[in-house]
Amino acid sequence: MEHAKIEVPNSAIIESIPQRCGQVVDYCADVGGLVHAVKRTSTQLRQEHTALRDTVATLELDQVKVRDASDEARLLSEKAIERLGEGNEQIRGALDRISSLIELVSALSQHVTGFAAAMDQVRKSSKDINRIAETTSILALNATIEAMRAGERGKTFAVVADEVKTLAQDTRLATDEIVRTVDALEIEATAVVGQIEGGAGESEKARASVSQIEETLGSVTDLVEEVDRQNDQIARSTATISSHVDSVQNVLRGFEETSVSNDGQLERAHSRLKDLEAMANTMFDNVVHAGLASADQHIAELALDGAKQAEALVLKAIEAGELDEAALFDDNYLPIAGSNPPRFRTRFTDWAHEHWRPILDAVTGKRPEILFALPNDLNGYLPTHITAQSKAPTGDVRHDELYCFNGRMIEKSDAWETMSGSDYAMYSYRQPRADGKFWLMRCATVPITVNGRRWGNFVVGYREDLRK
């Protein structure tokens, strides 16, 4: 497109057009930055929303597991209560029989004690009989003596005395046998009594244990019933939580739909702002090309002159064999080890830094508002920069970020391809500042072409507010 220079009076309104275009670009970029920040925040919110949705889904699965486990626990507790009821009846029956046995052992102990007393009475009676037998034997002896004195008249009495004597002897023998038997019974009875008394003591302990078992069974039953009540409460609470989870999921679905809609609207707003920014830059470029902004046109002329010098030096070096054209267009960007921000080298880097950097410094020093001049290839690579921003790296990230631009990559622009047939292009953009704010920068960009092949751009950046 050819731009015809328009002759107009030196009017403040005309002179303010580039500034107004720059302000439009600045405002568009500002709003675009805000929209981009909102989009980034929206993206983060959607990611967090997705994570929250996954968490809620996991929670729902956990709730289902809790509900199933609670139902299973309730069934188990009901079965446990039923089994405990059956077991209680059987155990209580067994305990009753044990109690009866304990009472029987106690009664037996009392009976054995009575038997021992009866044995003592038998022994006493045997002693009494033995004494009677001894007395009878003495009387029989006396009767025999008297019968002998009586002679014939006492023979019958003597026979009776002999019988009495024999009876007394038999009685003594019987009582002796009774005593021996009673002694043997006493030994056996003593052992039995000892065992029964020990059994009676253990029976009392068993009675206490039976009581404790009954109390423990009662406590276990109470605990199982309490567990059943707690499971019922858990089941009700789980149902309530599940209802809340469903509500949260509904809210999340609504949020997701709204978020998707907002993202679409933000994307459209951002696209329109970019279009408006491009229109403002096109107006700014047209105004400069029309000769309505003399100061900006002068910057463009400096950029044109710098680009011509850069092209001339390259052509001269190629013709002299000092530079290989393949090295000029080398796009094998080799990372520089340890560089931060990342920096790269190509076969063209050293030559550009030695021969183009003086041109960049000279153009930058032409006007106070010019901040830099730089060359970039079509991939955004900066083989060199002005001396002030091509300092040796120190390892301090802050220092290297501000002063080590040579070898860096800048953002590639599609506009570089479309301006290959133009003499130059003028545009504005926002440059971030250290304090988080932005400078409104203007640029004059001139295509660099070598032997009919587009290498990249010669760019002059300046700030209108520094113009004197």
**CATH code of residue 191:** 1.10.287.950
Is the pLDDT assigned to residue 125 strictly greater than 90?
Answer: no
294-319 helix and 357-364 helix, angle to the nearest 10 degrees = 160
Segment among 187-191, 196-200, 365-369 with least mean pLDDT: 196-200
User: Which of 8-12, 234-238, 409-413 is the most confident on average?
Assistant: 409-413
| Nearest Cα to Cα of residue 282 among 31, 6, 3 | 3
Q: Which residues contact 336 (CB under 8 A, 6 or more apart)?
A: 342, 343, 344, 345, 407
Query: What is the pLDDT, as a whole number, of residue 10?
Result: 55
C-beta of residue 214 within 8 angstroms of C-beta of residue 95: yes
- One domain for residues 325 and 242: no
Contact 28, 277 (CB under 8 A): yes
The amino acid sitting at 290 is: A
Q: Please identify, among 251, 276, 308, the residue that sits at the C-terminal boundary of a domain.
A: 251
What is the number of domains present in the chain? 2
Alpha-helical (H) ranges within 290-376 are 294-319, 325-328, 349-355, 357-364
Q: Which two tokens stand for residue 212?
A: 């404790």
* CA dihedral of 355, 358, 363, 364, whole degrees rounded to 10: 130
C-alpha–C-alpha distance, residues 416 and 456, integer Å? 8
Model pLDDT, residue 145: 77
Tokens of 264: 């679409």
Range of the domain at 223: 60-251
- Residue 147, in any domain of the structure: yes
Of 18-22, 362-366, 413-417, 454-458, the least confident: 413-417
Out of 220, 251, 282, a domain closes at: 251
Q: Report the candidate in 14, 9, 50, 65 with the shortest Cα–Cα distance to residue 238.
A: 65
State the average pLDDT over residues 328-351.
97
Cβ–Cβ under 8 Å, residues 18 and 293: yes
List Cβ neighbours of 164 (8 Å cut-off, separation of 6 or more).
136, 139, 140, 143
Provide the pLDDT for residue 118. 66
**Radius of gyration in angstroms for the set of CA atoms belonging to the chain, rounded to a whole number:** 62
Quick check: bond before 368 cis, omega within 30?
no
For residue range 438-465, list pLDDT tens digits in order: 788 899 999 999 999 999 999 999 998 8
Q: Which residues contact 412 (CB under 8 A, 6 or more apart)?
A: 378, 379, 380
Task: Confirm whether 417 is domain-assigned.
Answer: yes
The Cα–Cα gap between 137 and 36 comes to 142
On whether both 331 and 240 belong to a single domain, the answer is: no
Q: How far apart are CA 104 and CA 390, in angstroms?
A: 113
Q: What percentage of residues in the chain have a pLDDT greater than 70?
A: 69
- List Cα–Cα distances, 66 to 61, 130, 234, 239, 250, in angstroms: 9, 91, 9, 10, 22
Evaluate whether 375 touches 383 at the Cβ level (below 8 Å): yes
The rounded distance, in Å, linking the Cα atoms of 242 and 281 is: 57
Q: Do 315 and 167 share a structural domain?
A: no
Residues 224 and 367 in one domain: no
CATH at 316: 3.30.450.20
349 and 426 both lie in a single domain: yes
Same domain, 325 and 185: no
Q: What is the mean pLDDT of residues 353-359?
A: 98
Residue 84 to residue 216: CA distance in whole angstroms: 12
d(CA 109, CA 198): 10
Question: Residue 131 falls within a domain, yes or no?
Answer: yes
Q: What is the pLDDT of residue 440?
A: 82
Burial of 324 (0-12, 13-18, 19+ CB in 10 A): middle
Confidence (pLDDT) at 110: 64
Verify that 313 and 459 share a domain, yes or no: yes
CA distance 77 to 296: 89
β-bridge mates for residue 456, sequence order: 377, 448
Q: Give the H or E element holding residue 276.
A: helix 155-289
In the numeric block, the tokens 């720059």 are attached to 22
pLDDT given at position 4: 52
State the average pLDDT over residues 206-231: 70
User: Is 236 in the same domain as 311?
Assistant: no
